[in-house]
Each structure stands twice: as structure tokens, then as C-alpha cells.
Amino acid sequence: MDSVSSGMRGPAIFLAQFMSDEAPFDTLASAAKWMADAGYKGVQIPTWDSRCFDLAKAADSQDYCDEILGTCREAGVEVSELSTHLQGQLVAVHPAYDIAFDGFAPEALRGKPAERQQWAVEQLRLAARASRRMGLSAHASFSGALVWPFLYPWPQRPAGLVEEAFAELGRRWKPVLDAFDEQGVDVCYELHPGEDLHDGVTFERFLAATGNHARANILYDPSHFVLQQLDYLQFIDIYHPRIRMFHVKDAEFNPTGRSGVYGGFQDWVDRPGRFRSLGDGQVDFTGIFSRLTQYDYSGWAVLEWECCLKHPEDGAREGAPFIAAHMIRRPERAFDDFAGGSDPAVNRKLLGLS
């Protein structure tokens, strides 16, 4: 199934989990061709992976962007969006995670958190220009985190700590959001554990800190809400005006007498909350696609494959028909539109009015 009348497009797939040094995932051309053969109509491109994209060149060269678009088109897919998940993470890093996240930055910036943060902001500015050159209207990223180590309220958080964290996050992102606004592109934050923006309440805090910035929007991924035990269908009812991107990813939560939401520091395969390939988990995708269609979601349906059990190529092959089967074609007229047009005089007679 291709684009539908509701505006939703797909299926597409995020290339980040597939790019490698081995064919066919060692170049954009061959990876895109493999995905097209598997049934995908679009690919979401990780801008940090030099095997498939040069962000600096894309920001300044329309010829290069046209070349990327042409490569994908020749393979049989479109570019759905660009992603700066790793760079966005570095916009805000609590010192407890400095070493862990240094690997996301160029080697020359490791151990230099202030310079690393400046580099991340510049990466986002490049991504804004690159997205515009490629004719894209939405961009995927992470918010980063300053207050995540204080997630659980023990020891008791000092008054004002959370407020200051979000105020600082807003200060760091506001100029970036303005840069995206200049290019006519939305920043869609994947609400994700490990980020200060991980649920609806934290997204609202961030909106307030950025003056309800029009370009601050949501990448909706239900898998992260399953692991938090959040009502991911009601989330769509509440936040649908800000949902501009959609990662189609499955998950399951099976608590035991030994472990629950926090997972006991176990590996993914042993955790009660696990990411799964599409159809193997507990996510109600029929409900999700119905809600998004009801609210006229007009972006792409993008598979993000992360599964602790299944081979990625199998997950990808199964994912395209799964997404296509869940996409909903809106009717051109109402199902009960058979009684003819409206006549005010008849309506008054039906009501017993003169």
C-alpha cells in the first residue's frame, strides 16, 4: 500500500540499526535497494553515519542533496526524514554520563563537554539546512538530559531542581528551534527513557521552557510508552497536534515476582520490558493507526527495528507488509451518506416546526 488519502505515508524504515561495514548495508545505494526490494517506500537517514550521509556537505550543497535524493529514488525509495538522535543527545549531558556519551562525538572532542555541546548544536543547525535542501518538513532527534539521574525522587530532590533543568534545556534548544523555524522544518523529539523528554508531562515542561515553540514537536514511538506503562493511545488523543513523526516499533512488558519496570540491570533478553519485532509484542497497532488516521496524521510510518530475539533482516522483511496492512485508506464519503442533501425546510418539518 502506498500513500493513502489520510495523508499517512509508508512503509518506511530507519537505516540506523542496519548500516554496517558489510554489503548490502555498507552504502546508501545498496541499503536503499535492499529496503525497496523488501517493500519499503521510504528510508529515514542517520546523519552521523558517514557510510550513507555527509551532513556538512548536505547543509551547503544542493547538488549533493539532489544526488542523495536521486540515489534513493533510483533504488526505489524516498527519503522520509533525516535524524540527529546522537547529536541531539549531546546538546545536554549530565556529567554522570560524560564518558558514556563521549563516543557519540568526534574523537578530538572527547573529554571536552563544553566543546562537545557546541559541536552538537552546530550539527543541529546543519541538519536544519540539509532538511530544507532535501524538501523535508520534519526532523528526528533526542533532547538530551540534565535531570535524568534524578528521575526517582530519592534522595528527595531540592526545590527548583527540575524547574532549573528544564529552563536550561529550553535555553539550549531555543536557538536551535529558531534555526529550524527559519528553514521551515519541525524538530520531532523521540520521547525516550534516558532523555529529559520521555513522556507527556516532560514534553509539556519543555514546551513551557521554549515559549510553546511551534517547531518543538513529537516523534511518537509506542514501544517506549509500553516500557513506562503509559497509556499510548490516550497519548495520541492528547498530543496529536504535536505528533509529526511516527516510529512503528513493538514492545512487551511481562513483570514477574523478581523484576518490573526498572529491569534489575538485566540484559534486554531477560528484562520484563523488551523491544520486539513488529507483531511479536503487545502494542495495539490497530488502535494506533486508527487514532492517527482519525486525527489526520500526515507523516510517514517508519519502522525502527530493535528486537532482542529476531534477526534484523527478518524483522525488516516482516515489517513492511505489517505496516502496509495497518495503514488505513480514508473513505471519500461517509458510510451513511445515502439520504441526500440537506434541505432546511424539510428539517423544520421533521422537527414539527412551521
DSSP secondary structure string for all residues of 273-324: EEEE-TTSS---HHHHHHHHHHTT--SEEEE----SSS-HHHHHHHHHHHHH
Identify residue 126 by its one-letter amino acid code: L
Q: Is 88 exposed, middle or buried (0-12, 13-18, 19+ CB in 10 A)?
A: buried
Q: Outline where DSSP puts E strands in 197-256.
A: 216-220, 243-248, 250-253
All 3 cell numbers of residue 183? 528553514
pLDDT single digits (tens) 199-256: 999 999 999 999 999 999 999 999 999 999 999 999 999 999 999 999 999 999 999 9
Q: Which of 206, 195, 197 is nearest to 171 (CA)?
A: 206
CB count in 10 Å sphere of residue 77: 20
The DSSP secondary-structure symbol of 145 reads B
Residues 6 or more apart whose CB falls under 8 angstroms from that of 6 comprise 293, 296, 297, 298, 328, 329, 330
Phi, psi of 103 (to 5 degrees): -65, -15
Cis amide linkage into residue 344, ω under 30° from 0: no
- Type of residue found at 226: V
pTM: 0.95
The rounded distance, in Å, linking the Cα atoms of 20 and 28 is 11
Distance CA 222, CA 236 (A): 10
Single-letter code of the amino acid located at 79:
V
Tens digit of pLDDT for each residue in 143-192? 999 999 999 999 999 999 999 999 999 999 999 999 999 999 999 999 99
CA gap 15, 306 in Å, rounded = 11
Query: What is the number of H-type helices and E-type strands within the chain?
Result: 13, 10
H/E segment holding residue 58: helix 55-60
Q: Is the pLDDT of residue 6 over 60?
A: no
| pLDDT value of position 57 | 98
pLDDT at 8: 97
CA distance 246 to 170: 23
8 Å CB contact between 304 and 247: yes
Confidence (pLDDT) at 340: 66
User: How confident is the model at residue 5, as a pLDDT?
Assistant: 41
Contacts of 25 (CB under 8 A, 6+ apart): 15, 18, 19, 31, 34
Q: Which pLDDT value is given to residue 161? A: 98
Q: How far apart are CA 319 and CA 322, in angstroms?
A: 5
The Cα–Cα gap between 321 and 278 comes to 10
Mean pLDDT within 66-93 = 98
Give the integer Cα–Cα distance in Å for 52 and 30: 10
Instruction: List, for residues 253-278, the tens digit of each pLDDT value.
Output: 999 999 999 999 999 999 999 999 99
Residues contacting 63, CB < 8 A, separation 6+: none
Strand extents, DSSP E, 104-176? 138-141
Model confidence at 344: pLDDT above 80: yes
* Region of 121 on the Ramachandran plot (φ > 0 left; ψ -120 to 50 alpha; else beta): alpha
Residue (of 205, 226, 206) closest to 216 by Cα position:
206
